[in-house]
Amino acid sequence: MQFIYHENAGATQLTIEGETYQHLYKSRRTKTQETLSLRNLKDDFLYRYQHQSITRKEATITLIDKTPKPVIPTRYTHLILAVFDQKEFYKILPSLNELGVGKLTLFFAHFSQREKLDCNKIHKILIYSSQQCGRSNLMHIEILENLDDVLAHYPKIGVFDFGGTALTKVDLPILIGPEGGLSPQEREILKDYPTFSTQQDLILKSQSACLYVASTLL
């Protein structure tokens, strides 16, 4: 873990409790003499704290200093992803955050599963991922209703689909379809947009396509 997340990091005094307390003092056996590095993931400061006290349920820490230490992607990348199986989606979130994707827009395509996304779970996954990789901000998540909504927000996009040119580091948001691909109606709507593919006769799952696009663009 590169740092500890606390939404109020930067305050003169903080209380550590709940899951963070369990991890630090039950699992890691953190000692009173150890200093802690915290971030709030809203600014680029790394805040260093010392222990005031540790009890059986909580710990009190006080601020020693703060250092501007941004750890952010050097290139901004925006993916537009059709919603697919949530279990598989949650699995790739840490990788996208760790690769440095700047923004992930989710939308419901014709073939998307219509399960409600758990925004709280997404937020927790991204926080844990940033704590592990050291990223000082979170990948931004946006949820839109459908393809029409996507194109209203982002009229200039690229599409990752069969029969396109080789994907390079283009400065466009890239749209990726769900399991089963885009519907004929959606392909008709997107026919005049730039299309990119892997140049191999291989069919990628949505999660594989997402990681391929992210790693190529970055």
pLDDT tens-place string over residues 172-209: 999 999 887 899 999 999 999 999 998 887 788 999 99
**CA atoms within 13 Å, Cβ hemisphere of 215:** 9
- As a whole number, the mean pLDDT across the chain is 94
Residue 38's contacts (CB-CB under 8 Å, 6 or more residues apart) are: 3, 4, 5, 6, 9, 14, 46, 47, 48, 49
Residue 200: the pLDDT is 83
Fold agreement between 4-68 and 78-217: no
User: What average pLDDT does the segment 43-57 reach?
Assistant: 96
For residue 13, report the phi and psi dihedrals to the nearest 5 degrees: -140, 140
- Report how far apart, in Å, the C-alpha atoms of 85 and of each of 115, 143, 207 are: 9, 15, 10
Residue 38: the pLDDT is 98
68-101 residue pLDDT tens: 999 999 899 999 999 999 999 999 999 999 999 9
User: What residues are paired with 50 via a beta bridge?
Assistant: 62
Domain boundaries, the chain: 4-68, 78-217
Using only C-alpha atoms, the chain has a radius of gyration, in whole angstroms, of 21
Write out the two tokens for 113. Answer: 């599963």
| Class of the domain covering 4-68 | mainly beta
| 190: nearest Cα among 163, 146, 151, 162 | 151
CATH for 78-217, among 3.40.1280.10, 3.90.10.10, 3.90.79.10, 1.10.238.10? Answer: 3.40.1280.10
Strands 13-16 and 174-176: unpaired
